[in-house]
Amino acid sequence: MVESPASAPPETMHVVAKRPEVLADIPFTYCPGCTHGTIHRILAECIDDLGVGNRAVVIAPVGCAVWAYRFFNCDALQAAHGRAPAVATGVKRVHPENVVVTYQGDGDLAAIGAAEIIHAAARGERITCVYVNNAVYGMTQGQMAPTTLLGQKTTTSPLGRDARREGFPLRVCEMLATQDGAAYIERVTVVDPPSIRRAKRAIRRALEVQINDEGFSLVEVLSICPTWWGKPPREAAEWVRTEMVKQYPLGVFRGAGKG
């Protein structure tokens, strides 16, 4: 059954789930098994649930999610690599009434954008950052990222990341949590239904922190990249559960989270 917003279901039926209004009705262009689709979906559900679809502004990064602006029915901007928090700052200072969300990968946020995210957090900028961490540069075909794990092989760490040669992975949540302007920082994952529900609660909380003018909020989402990890999705999800969380523990790092 196809349900269009213009028509109501018969009285004998209730809609219990549907595509969020703010999620565009077009197929995603992400790889099979990519968790961007899940994260887009839960972000859109949160925007709808909070009733802020008509004042949401999404800022797309450079990376696989560069086309995120296509997938949301709201005002959007496409920012230079790493600069989304600064672009978001410009938008929010002009229109404080908007709910401004950046959506960034680990290369975008933690490499080239490291200064922008730190300072947005330190300023307590009233924006929300969805930080998708899949430990590689996906769009550019699998190079080492700041969050690539030790021993992990990528196209620019072909022998496996070595601490002496390539240094250590970067932990963003822990770092941002030290800043007073950060009101809410949580790390989640989306590898199974319980974790997806937890991630949705975290994103909702992060948006509420912005709406309530409490400060800067960021949710780091440990994500899979089956394509460049060279693992099928189930194996990739397992690798997050067993390996990634050792380096990037889940939990709330700053601010009270709803359990």
Q: Which residues bind another protein (CB under 8 A)?
A: 54-55, 57, 59, 66-67, 69, 72-80, 83, 86-95, 97-98, 115-116, 118-119
28-31's contacts with Cβ under 8 Å and 24+ in sequence apart are 28/71, 29/67, 30/64, 31/64, 31/138, 31/225, 31/226, 31/227
Torsion of CA 36, 176, 86, 147, to 10 degrees: -50
Q: Between residues 189 and 210, which has the closer beta carbon with respect to another protein?
A: 210
Q: Between residues 146 and 257, which has the closer beta carbon with respect to another protein?
A: 146
> What is the Cα–Cα distance from 249 to 129, expressed in whole angstroms?
18
CB of 55 to another protein, least distance (A): 5
CB of 87 to another protein, least distance (A): 4
Q: Outline where DSSP puts E strands in the chain.
A: 56-60, 75-78, 99-105, 128-133, 136-137, 143-144, 182-189, 216-222, 251-254
> What is the Cα–Cα distance from 249 to 137, expressed in whole angstroms?
21
CA 138 to chain centre: 14
CB of 67 to another protein, least distance (A): 8
Residues with Cβ within 8 Å of 64's Cβ and at least 6 positions away in sequence, in order, are: 30, 31, 34, 36, 105, 138, 139
Tell me, what DSSP letter sits at residue 246?
H
Q: Between residues 19 and 241, which has the closer beta carbon with respect to another protein?
A: 19
Q: Between residues 72 and 184, which has the closer beta carbon with respect to another protein?
A: 72
> What is the Cα–Cα distance from 107 to 113, expressed in whole angstroms?
8
Q: Between residues 96 and 251, which has the closer beta carbon with respect to another protein?
A: 96
CB of 83 to another protein, least distance (A): 4
Q: Between residues 88 and 209, which has the closer beta carbon with respect to another protein?
A: 88
CB of 71 to another protein, least distance (A): 12
Q: Between residues 94 and 159, which has the closer beta carbon with respect to another protein?
A: 94
Three-state DSSP class for residue 104: strand
> What is the Cα–Cα distance from 206 to 218, expressed in whole angstroms?
7
CB of 122 to another protein, least distance (A): 9
> What is the Cα–Cα distance from 170 to 53, expressed in whole angstroms?
33
CB of 62 to another protein, least distance (A): 9
